[in-house]
C-alpha cells in the first residue's frame, strides 16, 4: 500500500510539472507572468535572511496563509503537512519526532530532541510548544541536526515560528468561527504606528470547544473538551537606519484533556481485571476527570545594530511556564488503583544570546555567537494516589527541582571558493551543568527516594557543507553535521542516576531546483544518521518515569518536497518521506507484554534489528488550491490537504500489539471573497472522512495499553473582515 502512495505522489509531481510546461509553451498563463511562478521564500535557517533555494539544508516552510488553507491551526497540526514529523500530544506536553528521532515523555525538566523557537527565542519547556498559529508570518521546520547555530536539543531538527513584524500602516483583521462540537473561535490582529519610528501590533485568539468528542462512561460526562486563549504583542522601535529594537510579549493559557483522558486499546485488560476497551473509539472509562491546564509567558527583547562591517544582535528572553495536571486516571478504569492528582509542574527560564554577523552578501559570510540558558523546573508537588498503601497511606508527594546552566560559544563561516562553489564550516562548544534535589513524602510521613546530586556534560557539535550552483536554478549540496540532546537528571526520581546526552551524526546530500520557468520547485535530499546513547523511557508500577541510555540505531531515508504552478489559478504543494530505521544494539530493552490478570508486565527483550518507535516507513502530504473567478472580480478559493501515514510502533512491546495502523486524513475548504475584499466567508472541514487514529499511545504496567484518539471529523464556517 505504501508503495502505491509513493507512486501517486511521484505521479502528482510529474503531472504538475507537465501541466506547468504545457501552460508555458501555449502561453496560457492567464495574466502577469510573475504570478504564474512559485513564490520566492526567505528563511532564517542559518540565522540570517536567505533564499530557501540557496540554503544547503532540508526544510519545510509554511506561511500563515498556507497554514490556514491546509487546516493547520496550531503547532500540533504540523505533522499533517510535514512528512516524517509526529506531534505526540502526551499528558501535559508536546513530544515531537522528526525522521524517527524525538522525545517520549513530558516529565518535569524534560527536553526534546526537536528545538522550538519563536522569533529567535528558544522555548525550553516541552509544555510550551503547543500554541496556535494565529496571525503568524511563517513556520520553518529544519530537518536534521542543527547543533551548530541552534545548539543543544536540536539533534532531530528545529521548528521556528516567525511572527508578524509591526507595520507603520494601519491594519486590522478579525475572524469569527463556528464549528461542530459547540466550538467557537475568535481572532483579531491589528498593527500601526503610534509615534515616529515606533510601531506596534497585537494578536488575540480565543477558542472554546464546549462539547466533547466522546463520553466518560464512569462519570457520565463529555470528554475531550478544550479551550485556549493567547495574546501576542510586539513593539518595534527604529531610532536610526542602523538600529532596531523589538520588544515582544506572548501569553498562552489552555485547558485540554488530550493525552490524559485515555481509553484502553482493544485487547487490553485493565489493572482491575475487568475493564476492557470502550465500544466507541472516542469514549473513556475513568473514575477521575483527567485534564490539564497550561499557562505560558514569554517576554523578549531583540536589539539589532549594523556597524557596517558587521551586525550585532542581542536576544534576551524570560519564560515562565506553569502546567497543572488536575487529574490523571493512569489505570484507565473505574477502579481507584493508580491516580495522579494534582501534578503541578513549573519551568522558569532566562536565555541570553549574542550574535555578530558579517554584512549581507559578503563573499565570506560568517557568524560568531555566545549563548546562555538558566532553567529551573520541577514539581510543587506531584501527588501520586496509592489507595491505602500499607507504608505510604493514600498518597505520596514528589517535591523536587532540577536546575540547568548551559553555556555555549559558536561560529560558522561560508566562503565562495569559486563563483558557483561554496564551503561552509562551523562548530559549537556547549557545557551543561545540572543539579537535582528533592524527595518523595508519603501521607504517613515516610520520606523516600530523596536525592541531591549534580552532573555536567560538554559536547562539541559541528557542521560542514559543500554546495554547488550548477545553474541559476539548480543547486546541489552535501553536508556532515552533529547534534545532541542534553543529558538528564530527573526530578521525578531525584535519587536516580543521570542519563548521558544523545548524539546524532548525520550525512546528507540534496538537490534544490526550480524548473519550467520557475513553475516547479522540486527539492530532494537523502540522509543517513548514526544515533547513539538513545534515552529510553521506562515506567514503574507506581507510574513514575525512569530513563536509561540503552540504544544505538541507524537511520536513513529520502525527503522530497515540491511546489508546482499548473496554471495561474491552480497550485500544488506536497512532500513525502521514506524512512528506514533499525536498532543496531538494543539488548535488554524494557518492553511490555500483557498480563492475563490485567495490565502489563515489563520484561527484558532484545530489539536489535527492529524498527525505531514513532518512525513510519512512508509518509506523505499533498495540498492544492484553485482560485475560481466570479463576476465583478469576486473569487471562490478551493483548498485541500491530504496526509498519509503508513503506520508505526509506539512503544517497546514484545509483539507490537499497540502499533498504529496506516491512516489517511483529508482537509477541505472553500472561501468566497466579494469584489470589495473587505470580508470573506470560508466553509471548512478537517478529517472529513472521519478517520479513526490515535494521537498518543503508551504501554505501562498499571495502565495497560491505552491511548488518546486524534480529532474526528470537524467542520464549520469562518467569517473574516479586513480594514
Cell 477502579 found at: 335
Would you say residue 300 has pLDDT above 80?
Answer: yes
Task: Say if residue 445 is exposed, middle or buried (CB neighbours under 10 Å; 0-12, 13-18, 19+).
Answer: exposed
Taking the C-alpha atoms of residue 371 and residue 472, their distance in angstroms, rounded to an integer, is 36
Between the CA of residue 676 and those of 376, 632, 633, 673, what are the distances in Å? 52, 10, 9, 8
> Which is more confidently placed, 365 or 547?
365
The DSSP element (H or E) to which 675 belongs, if any, is none
3-class state of residue 340 by DSSP = strand
**CA–CA distance, 587 with 589 (Å, rounded to integer):** 5
Q: What is the pLDDT of residues 184-234, one digit of tens each?
A: 999 999 999 999 999 999 999 999 999 999 999 999 999 999 999 999 999
Rounded Cα gap, residues 627 and 670, in angstroms? 10
pLDDT of residue 545: 61
Task: Say how far apart CA 448 and CA 495 lie, in whole Å.
Answer: 9
- In tens, the pLDDT along 321-333 reads 999 999 999 899 9
Q: Is 94 helix (H, G, I), strand (E, B) or coil?
A: strand
Q: Distance between CA atoms of 473 and 518, rounded to whole angstroms?
A: 8
Strands 263-264 and 311-329: unpaired
Helices (H) and strands (E) in the chain, counts: 2, 39
- Which residues have CB under 8 Å from 122's CB, separation 6+? 115, 116, 150, 151, 317, 351, 373
The DSSP element (H or E) to which 654 belongs, if any, is none
For the segment 346-372, the average pLDDT, to the nearest whole number, is 95
Q: Measuring CA to CA, which residue among 398, 372, 371 is closest to residue 384?
A: 398
Contact indicator for 415, 388 with CB cutoff of 8 Å: no
pLDDT of residue 449: 87
Give the pLDDT score at 673: 97
Domains and CATH numbers, the chain: 2-722 (2.40.170.20)
**pLDDT by residue (tens digit) across 438-480?**
999 999 999 998 999 999 999 999 999 999 999 999 999 999 9
Q: How confident is the model at residue 539 (pLDDT cuts 50, 70, 90)?
A: low
**More confident position, 19 or 177:** 177
Of 699, 708, 698, the C-alpha closest to 599 is: 699
pLDDT for 89 equals: 76
3-state secondary structure of 3: helix
Comparing 286 with 541, which gets the higher pLDDT? 286
Cell of 188: 483579531
**Quick one: pLDDT at residue 128?**
84
Among the residue ranges 33-47, 175-189, 377-391, 515-529, the one predicted with the least confidence is 33-47
- Give per-residue burial for 187-219: e unless 16+ CB within 10 Å, then b: bbbbbeeeeeeebbbbbbbbbebeebbbbbbbb
Q: Cis ω on the peptide bond leading into residue 497 (within 30° of 0)? A: no
- Residue 80 backbone phi and psi in degrees, to 5: -75, -15
Residue 167: helix, strand or coil by DSSP?
coil
Let me know the angle formed at the C-alpha of 423 by 417 and 429, rounded to the nearest 5 degrees.
Answer: 140
* Nearest residue to 542 (alpha-carbon basis) of 331, 717, 323: 331
Q: Judge contact between 75 and 129, C-beta under 8 A.
A: yes
Quick: pLDDT tens for 652-690: 888 889 899 999 999 999 999 999 999 999 999 999 999
User: Strand 157-163 relative to strand 114-118: parallel, antiparallel, unpaired?
Assistant: parallel
pLDDT at res. 24: 34
* Contact (Cβ atoms closer than 8 angstroms) between residue 456 and residue 431: yes
Grid cell 522550538 — which residue? 116
Phi/psi for 470 (5° steps) reads -65, -45
- Residue ranges in 506-608 assigned as alpha helix (H): none
Amino acid at each position: 500500500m505504501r508503495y502505491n502512495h509513493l507512486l501517486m505522489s511521484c505521479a502528482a509531481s510529474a503531472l504538475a510539472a507537465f501541466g506547468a510546461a504545457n501552460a508555458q509553451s501555449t502561453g496560457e498563463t492567464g495574466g502577469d507572468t510573475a504570478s504564474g511562478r512559485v513564490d520566492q521564500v526567505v528563511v532564517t535557517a542559518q540565522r540570517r535572511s536567505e533564499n530557501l533555494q540557496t540554503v544547503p539544508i532540508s526544510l519545510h516552510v509554511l506561511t500563515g496563509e498556507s497554514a490556514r488553507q491546509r487546516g493547520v491551526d496550531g503547532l500540533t497540526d504540523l505533522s499533517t503537512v510535514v512528512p516524517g514529523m509526529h506531534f505526540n500530544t502526551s499528558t501535559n506536553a508536546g513530544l515531537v519526532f522528526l525522521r524517527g528521532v524525538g522525545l517520549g515523555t513530558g516529565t518535569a525538566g524534560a527536553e526534546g530532541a526537536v528545538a522550538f523557537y519563536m522569533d529567535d527565542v528558544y522555548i525550553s519547556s516541552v509544555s510550551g510548544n503547543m500554541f496556535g498559529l494565529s496571525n503568524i508570518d511563517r513556520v520553518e521546520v529544519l530537518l536534521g541536526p542543527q547543533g551548530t547555530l541552534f545548539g543543544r536539543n536540536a539533534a532531530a531538527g528545529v521548528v521556528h515560528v516567525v511572527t508578524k513584524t509591526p507595520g507603520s500602516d494601519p491594519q486590522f483583521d478579525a475572524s469569527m468561527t463556528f464549528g461542530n462540537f459547540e466550538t467557537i473561535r475568535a481572532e483579531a490582529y491589528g498593527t500601526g504606528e503610534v509615534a515616529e519610528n515606533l510601531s506596534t501590533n497585537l494578536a488575540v485568539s480565543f477558542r472554546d470547544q464546549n462539547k466533547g468528542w466522546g463520553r466518560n462512561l464512569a462519570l457520565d460526562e463529555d470528554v475531550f473538551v478544550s479551550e485556549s486563549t493567547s495574546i501576542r504583542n510586539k513593539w518595534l522601535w527604529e531610532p536610526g537606519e542602523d538600529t532596531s529594537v523589538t520588544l515582544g510579549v506572548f501569553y498562552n493559557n489552555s485547558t485540554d484533556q488530550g493525552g490524559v483522558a485515555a481509553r484502553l486499546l482493544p485487547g487490553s485488560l485493565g489493572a482491575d481485571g475487568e475493564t476492557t476497551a470502550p465500544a466507541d473509539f472516542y469514549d473513556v472509562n475513568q473514575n477521575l476527570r483527567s485534564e490539564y491546564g497550561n499557562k505560558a509567558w514569554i517576554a523578549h527583547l531583540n536589539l539589532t545594530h549594523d556597524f557596517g562591517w558587521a551586525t550585532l544582535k542581542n536576544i534576551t528572553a524570560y519564560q515562565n511556564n506553569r502546567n497543572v495536571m488536575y487529574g490523571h486516571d493512569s489505570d484507565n478504569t473505574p477502579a481507584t488503583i493508580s491516580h495522579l492528582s494534582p501534578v503541578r509542574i513549573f519551568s522558569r527560564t532566562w536565555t541570553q544570546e549574542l550574535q555578530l554577523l558579517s554584512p549581507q552578501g559578503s563573499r565570506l559570510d560568517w557568524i560568531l555567537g555566545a549563548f546562555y540558558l538558566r532553567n529551573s523546573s520541577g514539581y510543587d508537588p506531584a501527588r501520586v494516589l496509592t489507595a491505602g498503601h500499607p507504608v505510604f497511606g493514600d498518597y505520596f508527594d514528589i517535591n523536587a527541582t532540577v536546575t540547568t546552566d548551559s553555556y555555549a560559544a559558536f561560529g560558522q563561516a561560508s566562503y565562495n571558493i569559486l563563483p558557483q562553489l561554496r564551503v561552509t564550516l562551523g562548530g559549537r562548544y556547549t557545557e551543561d551543568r545540572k543539579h537535582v534535589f528533592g524527595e518523595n513524602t508519603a501521607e504517613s510521613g515516610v520520606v523516600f527516594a530523596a536525592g541531591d546530586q549534580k552532573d555536567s556534560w560538554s559536547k562539541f557539535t559541528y557542521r560542514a557543507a559543500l554546495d554547488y550552483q550548477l545553474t541559476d536554478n539548480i543547486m546541489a549540496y552535501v553536508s556532515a553535521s552533529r547534534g545532541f540532546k542534553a543529558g538528564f537528571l530527573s526530578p521525578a526520581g531525584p535519587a536516580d542516576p543521570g542519563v548521558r546526552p544523545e548524539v546524532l551524526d548525520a550525512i546528507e546530500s540534496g538537490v534544490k531546483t526550480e524548473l519550467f520557468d520557475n513553475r516547479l520547485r522540486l527539492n530532494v535530499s537523502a540522509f543517513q544518521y548514526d544515533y547513539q546513547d538513545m534515552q529510553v523511557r521506562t515506567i514503574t508500577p507506581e507510574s513514575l518515569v525512569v530513563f536509561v541510555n540503552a540504544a544505538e540505531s541507524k537511520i536513513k531515508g529520502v525527503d522530497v518536497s515540491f511546489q508546482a504552478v499548473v496554471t495561474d489559478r491552480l497550485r500544488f504543494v506536497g512532500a513525502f518521506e521514506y524512512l528506514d530505521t533499525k536498532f543496531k544494539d538494543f539488548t535488554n530493552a524494557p518492553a511490555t507484554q500483557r498480563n492475563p490478570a490485567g495490565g502489563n508486565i515489563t520484561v527484558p527483550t532484545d530489539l536489535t534489528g527492529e524498527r525505531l518507535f514513532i518512525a513510519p516507513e512512508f509518509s506523505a502530504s499533498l495540498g492544492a488550491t484553485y482560485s475560481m473567478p466570479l463576476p465583478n472580480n469576486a473569487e471562490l478559493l478551493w483548498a485541500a490537504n491530504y496526509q498519509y501515514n503508513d503506520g508505526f510502533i509506539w512503544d517497546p512491546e514484545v509483539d507490537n500489539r499497540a502499533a498504529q495502523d496506516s491512516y489517511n486524513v483529508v482537509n477541505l475548504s472553500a472561501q468566497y471573497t466579494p469584489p470589495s475584499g473587505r470580508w470573506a466567508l470560508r466553509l471548512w472541514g478537517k478529517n472529513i472522512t472521519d478517520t479513526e487514529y490515535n494521537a498518543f499511545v503508551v504501554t505501562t504496567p498499571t495502565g495497560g495499553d491505552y491511548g488518546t484518539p486524534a480529532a474526528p471529523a470537524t467542520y464549520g464556517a469562518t467569517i473574516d473582515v479586513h480594514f
